[in-house]
């Protein structure tokens, strides 16, 4: 299985902030001494698949970012069901979306693969925003981007039919997350259903159709995309 590749930077496990791959993407306006101060109020943890990283309704005390792994952002609906807002990979700034909007999280974050996560105290971040104008701009730009991406993804999804939605999820995993035509599906059929706003049975049916149409192969948890071009076409036209 391939490693995560994000913008050609291989994600490492360095515990030192100043050497963290995030630095160049997010904290580049901070000097070493400022970064070291942030180091002091950060807290790095690992999570197993299925473990809850933060829970809907709990107080927002940290800027969370995903160092390594894969997570889902999800909300529970009134009728006991779950709805997945987004599946996020490293560098997706998972906690940024409602960091400053609310005192409590509007959604839960759960690991769907083993994760390494950094929590940085929110007051520490706020202090840096207030005292470092460039950092403020950087945060704002990142936040805007994250929000817009999520919104546009939802928008695009709502325009597609069942086949188009399934295809776009498969393209997402193969192109954006794993960068490979063969990968272990990290989510259940039911979770895919929650993500694309359809029912489990129809997710399965469409998988079977794609298999019969020789677009994908399914070997237990492994998906192999045989015909990426058709998949992309279905994803776009569907």
Binding residues for a second copy, rule: CB under 8 A, are 75, 77, 83, 85, 97-102, 106, 126, 129-131, 133-134, 136-137, 139-141, 143-145, 147-148, 150-152, 154-155, 158-159, 197
Residue positions counted in the chain: 238
CB nearer a second copy, residue 16 or residue 151: 151
Radius of gyration of the chain, Cα coordinates, nearest whole angstrom: 19
Residue 69 CA, distance from chain mean position: 9
Which alpha helices (DSSP H) does 69-132 contain, by range?
122-131
CB nearer DNA, residue 93 or residue 207: 207
Residue whose structure tokens are 């929110």: 122
**Min CB(175)–DNA separation in Å:** 22
Size of the site for DNA (CB under 7 A): 18
50 binds DNA (CB under 7 A): no
Q: Following CA atoms 56, 57, 62, 68 in sequence, which dihedral angle do they give, to the nearest 10 degrees?
A: -10
User: If contact means CB under 5 to 8 A according to the sort of partner, which of DNA, a second copy, none does residue 190 touch?
Assistant: DNA
Q: How far apart are CA 6 and CA 69, in angstroms?
A: 12
Q: How far apart are CA 145 and CA 217, in angstroms?
A: 35
In sequence order, which residues have a C-beta less than 8 Å from that of residue 44 and are 6 or more positions away?
A: 15, 67, 116, 117, 118, 119
201 binds DNA (CB under 7 A): yes
CB nearer a second copy, residue 35 or residue 150: 150
User: If contact means CB under 5 to 8 A according to the sort of partner, which of a second copy, DNA, none does residue 208 touch?
Assistant: DNA
**Min CB(29)–DNA separation in Å:** 43
CB nearer DNA, residue 62 or residue 168: 168
CB nearer DNA, residue 149 or residue 209: 209
Closest CA to 92 of 120, 73, 105, 114: 73
162 binds DNA (CB under 7 A): yes
14 binds DNA (CB under 7 A): no
- 3-state DSSP helix/strand/coil percent for the chain, to nearest 5? 40, 25, 35
**Min CB(166)–DNA separation in Å:** 10
**Min CB(45)–a second copy separation in Å:** 24
Q: Are 126 and 108 in contact (CB under 8 A)?
A: no
3-state secondary structure at position 115 = strand
Q: How far apart are CA 223 and CA 203, in angstroms?
A: 14
Q: Which of 37, 142, 189, 232 binds DNA (CB under 7 A)?
A: 189
204 binds DNA (CB under 7 A): yes
For DNA, the binding residues (CB under 7 A) are 161-163, 188-190, 197-202, 204-205, 207-208, 218, 220
């Amino acid at each position: 299985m391939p490693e995560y590749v994000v913008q050609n930077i291989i994600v490492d496990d360095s515990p030192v902030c100043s050497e963290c791959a995030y630095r160049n993407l997010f904290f580049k306006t901070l000097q070493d001494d400022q970064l070291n101060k942030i180091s002091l109020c950060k807290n790095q943890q690992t999570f197993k698949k299925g473990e809850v990283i933060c829970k809907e309704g709990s107080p927002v005390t940290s800027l969370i970012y995903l160092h390594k792994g894969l997570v889902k952002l999800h909300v529970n609906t009134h009728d006991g069901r779950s709805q997945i807002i987004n599946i996020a990979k490293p560098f997706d700034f998972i906690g940024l979306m409602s960091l400053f909007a609310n005192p409590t999280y509007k959604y839960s974050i759960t690991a769907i693969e083993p994760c390494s996560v950094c929590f940085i105290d929110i007051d520490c971040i706020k202090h840096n925003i207030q005292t470092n104008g460039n950092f403020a701009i950087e945060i704002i730009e990142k936040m805007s981007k994250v929000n817009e991406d999520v919104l546009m993804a939802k928008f695009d999804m709502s325009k597609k039919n069942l086949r188009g939605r399934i295809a776009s999820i498969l393209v997402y995993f193969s192109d954006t997350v794993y960068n490979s035509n063969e990968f272990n599906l990290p989510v259940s059929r039911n979770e895919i259903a929650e993500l694309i706003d359809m029912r489990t049975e129809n997710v399965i049916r469409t998988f079977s159709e794609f298999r019969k149409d020789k677009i994908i192969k399914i070997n237990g948890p492994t998906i192999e995309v045989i015909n990426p071009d058709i998949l992309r076409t279905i994803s776009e036209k569907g």
